[in-house]
Amino acid sequence: MDRRYFLKNSGIALASLGVAMNSPSFLARTLAQTNHTGRRKTLIVIFQRGAMDSLNSVIPFGESAYYQLRPNIAVARPKSDGQPNNPAAIDLDGYFALSPALASFKPIYDAGQLAIVHAVGSHDTTRSHFDAQDYMEAGTPGVKSTTDGWLNRYLQAKPDPKASPFRAVAMGPNLPRTLQGKAPSLAMNNLNDFGIRGAGGGQSAAVVQGGFEAMYEQSVNQALRGTGHETFEAVKLLKRINPSQYQPASDANYPRGKYGDSLKQIAQLIKSDIGLEVAFADIGGWDTHANEGAGQGQLANRLLEFSQGITALHNDLKDRRDDVVILTMTEFGRTAKENGNRGTDHGHASCMFVLGGNVNGGKVLGKWPGLQSSQLYEGRDLAITTDFRDVFAEVAMRHLGATNLNLVFPGYQPKNSNFRGIIRS
């Protein structure tokens, strides 16, 4: 049993292992300081992998070109009769509307706690999922040599000597690109998977954990034994919050599956005051080349699960909304014109959703570029009018309190004049 297998399958992985090895008492020190964690500002990042079609998510129904470009997959206008397989969009401001699959977002928008940044993305020209995701998570579009992610650089730029070992957590088997770097971060499959429950037959959790710890000690060399021990100490801290007994708020109806479970467990970590500052989750299935659908169909099904999970998370954290911002992103958008398979191909700009008590919500923010042929990027895509780094930078500065944005976004100088007013000042 080697270390990689152990970490991957135990449900908790210690990231930035080199840092832990150079400072083997890191977790022991932070565990001793857990009384200093408490409530704090938290950012939850949700990556929509596969490139979401923003034009069928936040619909520019006030522009006739939208319906000309999409004769088969355009979402029906608000207040229209629609069709049985294409219910009408939900009007936001007389020009933009939500997909009917995003209906749970409307009350949050009306309450001023959901903002939408449209025509946002990377000015890099790539249409590769892999490259675009890498650039967005690294925060350095067009640069493949970046070794760390922008969220990790934020943690580096704002060191916290009293930070919890759970300051930065990704829900999943591997640490995402955006949290890789020198600052310690954790990747966790499931809060209940490690050191919490026995393996059946009445076996106690302590016995199971002890068995794994013994195997771990036998499988690594002397240099890693301290780190392995302290990882188990972090697990003991996690065990105190008893995740298997967690009850979400009564109106927090998480969708079933990995995505919903990840968001529910992020809410639990926040409400447990365990020191969480940055959380990450993702949801795939957005690459709609064929049979995309309109108000119903393939895209709408993804939007339904996506929005139900975020709405449940927002409701679950109702008493902490002023401390939490939820930020969504996707690597690029889709072509403005539908293709011959009633789908859309890789495009350029998309949109982001931002939720929270201090979000300047009830607005579609950003400069709308238009959908006329002369206004499209390369004659085919929604053009970008907001650099994704300006959205990240505004949230990092005005919500999390980052001051050294040049360190967080090397090679780029975020300017207040480029911020879209996402966070209330």
Q: Per-residue pLDDT averaged across 198-216, rounded? A: 35
Label residue 219 by pLDDT band (50, 70, 90): very low
Q: DSSP string of 36-53?
A: G--S--EEEEEEETT---
| 249: its two tokens | 């708020």
For position 232, what pLDDT does the model report?
59
Share of the chain above pLDDT 90, in %: 71
Cα 300 versus chain centre, distance:
19
Q: Which of the following CATH numbers is that of domain 3-418: 3.40.720, 3.30.40, 3.80.10, 3.40.50?
A: 3.40.720
C-alpha 309/C-alpha 313 separation (Å) is 6
Determine the straight-line distance between the first and last CA of the chain, rounded to whole angstroms: 52
| 265: its two tokens | 């467990």
Asked if pLDDT for residue 213 goes beyond 80, the answer is no
Q: Per-residue pLDDT averaged across 123-127, rounded? A: 97
pLDDT in tens, 11-67: 444 443 333 333 334 444 444 444 445 678 999 999 999 999 999 999 999 999 999
Asked if pLDDT for residue 162 goes beyond 60, the answer is yes
Asked if pLDDT for residue 125 goes beyond 60, the answer is yes
| 289: its two tokens | 């080349």
Label residue 243 by pLDDT band (50, 70, 90): confident
| 379: its two tokens | 């004659």
| Listed residue (105, 109, 170, 110) closest to 312, CA to CA | 105
Q: What is the dihedral of CA 329, 387, 270, 192, to 10 degrees?
A: 30
Q: Per-residue pLDDT averaged across 217-228, rounded? A: 41
Asked if pLDDT for residue 394 goes beyond 70, the answer is yes
Label residue 236 by pLDDT band (50, 70, 90): low
Query: What pTM was computed for the model?
Result: 0.86
In Å, how far are 2, 52, 67, 70, 372 from 63, measured between CA atoms? 58, 20, 8, 12, 9
For position 80, what pLDDT does the model report?
83
Asked if pLDDT for residue 147 goes beyond 50, the answer is yes
Residue type, 239: K
Share of the chain above pLDDT 70, in %: 80
Please check whether residue 271 is in contact with residue 279, taking contact to mean a CB–CB distance below 8 angstroms: no
Asked if pLDDT for residue 307 goes beyond 60, the answer is yes
In Å, how far are 118, 135, 159 from 58, measured between CA atoms? 8, 24, 38
pLDDT in tens, 170-205: 999 999 999 999 999 989 888 876 433 323 333 323
For position 300, what pLDDT does the model report?
98
Task: Between 18 and 158, name the one with better pLDDT.
Answer: 158
Asked if pLDDT for residue 242 goes beyond 70, the answer is yes
For position 192, what pLDDT does the model report?
75
Instruction: Indicate the average pLDDT of the chain.
Output: 85
